[in-house]
Amino acid sequence: MDVPLVKQDIQQEARRLFEKQRQFASRMAQTTASERIERLNRLYNYLLSHLEEAQEATYRDFRKPAAETMLGEIYVLTSEIKYTSKHLRRWMKPQKVPTPLGAIGTSSYIQYEAKGNALIISPWNYPINLALKPLISAIAAGCVAIIKPSELTPHSSAFVRKVVEAVFPPEEVAVMEGGMDVSQALLALPFNHIFFTGSPQVGKIVMKAAAEHLASVTLELGGKSPTIVDETADIAATAQKIAWGKFLNNGQTCIAPDYVMVHSGVKSRFIDEFRKAVASMYNQDGKPTEDSDSYARIVNDRHFQRLKSYLDDAINKGASVELGGKTIAADNFIEPTLITGVNDSMMLMQEEIFGPLLPVMEYHDLREAVNYINAHEKPLALYVHSRSDRNADYVLSSTSAGNALVNELLFQFGNPEIPFGGVNNSGIGKSNGYFGFQEFSNAKGVMKRKFGTTRFLYPPYTDKIKKLLNFMVRYL
C-alpha cells in the first residue's frame, strides 16, 4: 500500500528525533540534580521574559484573558519549577530501607532512575501549561522528551515550540507540532514512557499504542466532575466559587465543576446567589458578558456546535434555562448558563460538558447524591460544599475520585504536595511535584550483600532445609 509522502515525512521526522534523543538518553539520565535544576531555571527565566508573548498566543487562540494565562498557564509552571528545584536533590538521593530478617547481611535502597525516552501529548485547553508541566517532571527525572502540543490552539503550540527550541537542544527536548497523524507517528515509536493529557476516548488509543512496546503511561483524562452543595453550606460564597471555577477558561477546564447537586432546601437561594455572582464577575459595568474582558471563548466552531447541541437537546427534553442561554456562533460565544430540570436522557448529563453550561440537580437526602455519583464513571475531581464535617466525610468515604476538595475548587492542580490525577476513566497515574517525578522514573530496588549467604537454601533439599523452611514460613 502506498503511504502518502506527507505522512512518510512525518514518520521520518518522528523517528529522526526519537533516535537522536535515544542516543542522548543515557547521558541525560546521568545528569546531576544541579544540572537538571539549571535546565529548569533556564525554562523559568525564558517564561518570565516572554509573558506577553504567552498571553498573546492564548488570547489569539480563544481570547483567554491575560489574567487567566498568568494564573492557569504561567504561575502553575513557575511554582512547579520552584518547588521541584527546591526538593529535587532529596528526591534523587537513594532512599535507604530496612532489611527484613530473611535478608540479613544485605542492605537495600530505592534509587529513582530516568525511564529514558518520554513522549508528552497535550490538549488545547491549557495549551502552554499542559505541554510544559509534564516536561518539568521529565527533566527532573532525567528523561529526554518529545512534546506534541494540540493542533487546535496553533498560536500556543507555536509558542511552546519556540520556548523549547530556545531553552533545550533537540537531543534533550523537542516539539513536533501537528494533529492526529503526528501523534500516531510518535505513538508508533518505542518510547519508555508516554504522558498523555486529553480525553478518555483518545486515552484508550494511547494506551493501546503503548501496549505494543509495553511503555508505561500516565493518562491525565477528563469526565464529569460532580459538585455537591448541602444544606449547611455558605451559599453565597459557594455560588461565587462555583461560578468562578465553572467559567474560568470558559468552562474548558478538565477539573471544572461539570454539574451541581444541590440540597432541595437551598436550591432557589443557590440559583439567586449564582446569578449575582455571575453578574459581579462579568457584568459589573452593566454591559453584556460578550463585552467582558474577563471571559474567554469556546475554542472553535466544532466545540461551539457541540455545546449548542447539548443546550438545545436539554431544552427540547424539558430542561429550563435559569440564567444565560445566549449564543453567538460567529464569535464562538456562549453566555454563562445555568440549567435546571435535567436528567440522564440529556446529552448534557451523558458527556463531559467542557464549556460554560452548568446543570443543577436537586437532592433531598445526601445518599441520593452519593448513589448518583457511584452509578457513573469515577470522576477526576469531586467537590463538596458543606459546613458539616460529617456530611463531607460521608461523601468522601463513600465515593471514589481522582481528587476530592471540600469547600474549594480547582486548587488541587496547583498544590504540589498532593498527587493530581484521575482514577480509571478519569486517568491512570499522577502528576504534581514528587508524584510527577515518580511517573518519569523507574523506582529501582537495589540490594547489596555485605556478609552472610543464602547457600544453605540451595538443593539438594535435605530434611534440614525442609525444617528450616517450615520454621521460616511460621516465624520469619
Q: Can you point out the beta strands (E) in 364-458?
A: 381-385, 403-406, 427-428, 441-449
Q: Which of 48, 97, 166, 180 binds ligand NAD (CB under 6 A)?
A: 180
Q: Does 332 bind ligand NAD (CB under 6 A)?
A: no
How, if at all, do strands 259-263 and 226-229 pair? parallel
Q: Does 197 bind ligand NAD (CB under 6 A)?
A: yes
Q: Which residues 336-355 are close enough to bind ligand NAD by CB under 6 A?
A: 352, 354
Rounded to whole angstroms, the Cα distance separating 259 from 280 reads 21
Alpha helices in 93-192 (DSSP H): 129-141, 154-167, 180-187
Shortest distance, position 388 Cβ to ligand NAD, whole Å? 29
Q: Does 301 bind ligand NAD (CB under 6 A)?
A: no
Query: In whole angstroms, how large is the CA radius of gyration of the chain?
Result: 25
Neighbours of 468 (CB within 10 A): 13
Neighbours of 91 (CB within 10 A): 17
Catalytic residue check, 143: no
Q: Does 176 bind ligand NAD (CB under 6 A)?
A: no
Q: Does 410 bind ligand NAD (CB under 6 A)?
A: no
Q: Does 121 bind ligand NAD (CB under 6 A)?
A: yes
Residue the block writes with cell 459538585: 227
SS3 81: helix
Q: Does 220 bind ligand NAD (CB under 6 A)?
A: yes
Tell me the CB-side half-sphere exposure of residue 306, using CA atoms within 13 A.
Answer: 14
By beta-carbon proximity to ligand NAD, the closer residue of 48 and 180 is 180
Pick the catalytic residue: 73, 80, 143, 254?
254
Q: Residue number with the shortest CB distance to ligand NAD?
A: 222
Q: What is the per-residue DSSP string for 201-249?
A: HHHHHHHHHHHHHT-EEEEE-----EEEE-TTS-HHHHHHHHHHHHHGG
Shortest distance, position 7 Cβ to ligand NAD, whole Å? 14
Rounded to whole angstroms, the Cα distance separating 38 from 386 reads 44
Catalytic residue check, 13: no
Q: Which of 65, 72, 116, 123 binds ligand NAD (CB under 6 A)?
A: 123
Shortest distance, position 124 Cβ to ligand NAD, whole Å? 5
Shortest distance, position 227 Cβ to ligand NAD, whole Å? 15
Shortest distance, position 25 Cβ to ligand NAD, whole Å? 23
Pick the catalytic residue: 68, 220, 322, 439?
220
Shortest distance, position 149 Cβ to ligand NAD, whole Å? 6
Rounded to whole angstroms, the Cα distance separating 210 from 208 reads 5
Q: Does 211 bind ligand NAD (CB under 6 A)?
A: no
Residues in the site for ligand NAD, rule: CB under 6 A?
Answer: 121-125, 130, 148, 150-151, 179-180, 183-184, 197-199, 202, 205, 220-222, 254, 352, 354, 380, 422, 427
Q: Which residues are catalytic?
A: 220, 254
